Amino acid sequence: MRALAVIPARGGSKGLPRKNVLQLGKHPLIAHTILAALGTPQLTDLIVSTDDEEIAWVAHRYNAAVPFMRPPELATDTASAIDVALHALDFMEESTDQPYDAFLLLQPTCPLRRSEDIQAAIRLYQREQADSVISIYKLESTHPYYMYLLDGSTPRLLMPEAARQHHRQDYPPVYVRNGAIYLVDRDVLHERRSFYGDRLRAVVMPEERSVNVDTRADLVRAEALLKTGDQG
């Protein structure tokens, strides 16, 4: 299987400025994702898609290819992940003159994802003959049955019938997409413009490795988890 992995990392960020190059433990944020990808032998190629010279420099320093600088129209707040993915895929296929079988999107804002998580997703993809795999984690805190909508100042249960018919210990486990892994068949990505195919599967990651760094508080939490080694 020929698989292209792309790490999308634009320079602009409103929530946490310059987050992709901020230090997290021993490495800049984006480097954690690069190292996890480089430790995944099933990947044919790994590239970073960025519009930012400093991010490109860091990527090169950690042995990730940066074969192009992302066009400005794909580096805005409103640019879609699909357009960024297709731009990278088309560029690589045209420059190598070889098609890929699968496409892997690895968000740099999920720095605690490990090589073993990526490898598990690829094994699941191949074993199940899936056309897409996403990463999720089990929600251990507030269950959706306990969640409310507000009608003015009146709270209304989000799922009233389900909440009434179950004891807490009988609630079914629920999972949350963590954004760390999007693995998709190349043709599904191109033809549907989606990371989700009909044969969607999910690989479960520990919640401790599912931190998504969008704010300073997220970065502090990720730092704490790295220091304590409490990452599942």
What's the pLDDT at 213?
Answer: 96
Name the pairing type of β-strands 200-204 and 132-138: parallel
For helices 115-127 and 29-38, the axis angle rounded to 10 degrees is: 50
Cβ–Cβ under 8 Å, residues 22 and 109: no
Cβ–Cβ under 8 Å, residues 48 and 65: yes
Cα separations (Å) of 157 from 145, 167, 170?
A: 7, 15, 18
What's the pLDDT at 136?
Answer: 98
Multiple choice CATH, 3-139+174-228, 3.90.550.10, 2.40.270.10, 3.30.420.310, 3.40.50.300: 3.90.550.10
3 state DSSP class of 182? strand
Strand partners, 3: 102
What's the pLDDT at 231?
Answer: 67
Q: What's the CA gap between 88 and 121, in Å, rounded? A: 21
Q: Which long-range contacts (CB under 8 A, 24 or more apart) does 21-28 make?
A: 21/54, 21/55, 21/58, 22/219, 24/111, 24/213, 24/219, 24/222, 24/223, 24/226, 25/223, 25/226, 25/227, 27/62, 28/58
3 state DSSP class of 207? helix
Type and span of the H or E element at 132: strand 132-138
Cα separations (Å) of 102 from 9, 39, 122?
A: 20, 18, 10
In tens digits, what is the pLDDT along the chain, a chain of 232 residues? 999 999 999 998 878 999 999 999 999 999 999 999 999 999 999 999 999 999 999 999 999 999 999 999 999 988 999 999 999 999 999 999 999 999 999 999 999 999 999 999 999 999 999 999 999 999 988 888 889 999 999 999 998 887 777 777 778 899 999 999 999 999 999 999 999 999 999 999 999 999 999 999 999 999 999 988 766 6
User: What is the domain partition of the chain in residue ranges?
Assistant: 3-139+174-228
Q: What's the CA gap between 108 and 114, in Å, rounded? A: 12
| Cα dihedral sign, 50-54-59-65 | positive
CA-closest candidate to residue 219, choices 128, 142, 108: 108
Name the pairing type of β-strands 27-28 and 23-24: antiparallel
Name the pairing type of β-strands 45-49 and 3-8: parallel
